Amino acid sequence: MIPLSAATLKTESWQRQLANAFNRVEDLLSYLELGDQLEPSMKAASRAFGFRVTRFFASLMEKGNVDDPLLRQVLPLGAELEDTPGFSTDPLADQASHQGNGLLHKYHGRALLITTGACAINCRYCFRRHFPYADHQATPSHWQPLLQQLQQHTDISEVILSGGDPLSLGNTRLGALIEQLQQIPHLKRLRIHSRLPVVLPQRLDQGLARILGHCRLPMSLVLHINHPGEISTELIRALGPLRRQGVILLNQAVLLHSVNDSVGIQVRLAEELFQAGVLPYYLHQLDRVRGAAHFAVEDEQAAALHQAMQARLPGYLLPRLVREVPGAHSKLALSMSQNE
Ligand SMILES: *Cc1c(COP(=O)(O)O)cnc(C)c1O
Ligand code: SF4
Q: Which ligand is nearest to the CA of 91?
A: 1
pLDDT along the chain (340 residues), means of 10: 44 83 96 89 94 97 97 97 91 67 91 92 92 69 86 97 94 95 97 98 95 95 98 97 96 98 98 98 96 97 97 98 94 70
- Indicate which atom in ligand 2 lies nearest the CA of residue 128: 8
Please indicate whether residue 110, judged by its CB atom, sits closer than 6 Å to ligand 1.
yes
Closest atom of ligand 2 relative to the 195 alpha carbon: 1
Which of 53, 116, 165, when mutated, tests ligand 2's pocket best, judged by the most ligand atoms within 8 Å of its CB? 165
Maximum alpha-carbon separation in the chain = 58
- Ligand nearest to C-alpha 292: 2
Quote the ligand 2 centre to 195 CA distance (angstroms): 7
pLDDT tens digits, 166-187: 999 999 999 999 999 999 999 9
> What digits encode the pLDDT tens for the residues 68-105?
999 999 999 999 999 999 999 888 776 656 656 788 99
Query: Structural domain boundaries of the chain?
Result: 6-81, 94-337
pLDDT of residue 338: 53
With both helix axes pointing from N to C terminus, report the angle between 206-214 and 6-19 in degrees, rounded to the nearest 10: 110
Q: What is the 3-state secondary structure (H, E, C) of 63-130?
A: CCCCCCHHHHHHCCCHHHHCCCCCCECCCCCHHHHECCCCEEEEECCEEEEECCCCCCCCCCCCCCCC
201: nearest Cα among 249, 238, 166? 238
Burial state string for 12-33 with b = 16 or more CB within 10 A and e = fewer than 16: eebeebbeebbeebbbbbebbe
Give me ligand 2 centre to Cα 11, in Å: 21
Measured from the Cβ of residue 340, the count of other Cβ atoms closer than 10 Å reads: 8
What pLDDT does 139 receive? Answer: 73
**Which protein residue's CA is at the shortest distance from atom 8 of ligand 1?**
110
Q: What's the CA gap between 259 and 67, in Å, rounded?
A: 9
Which residue, judged by its Cα, is nearest atom 8 of ligand 2? 126
Cα 159 from Cα 169, distance rounded (Å): 17
Is the entire prediction scored with pTM above 0.75? yes
- Which atom of ligand 2 lies nearest, measured to the CA of 196? 1
Q: Which superfamily does CATH assign the domain made up of 94-337 to?
A: Aldolase class I (3.20.20.70)
pLDDT of residue 38: 83
CA distance 137 to 142: 8
With vertex at residue 74, the alpha carbon angle to CA 71 and CA 78, rounded to the nearest 5 degrees, is 105
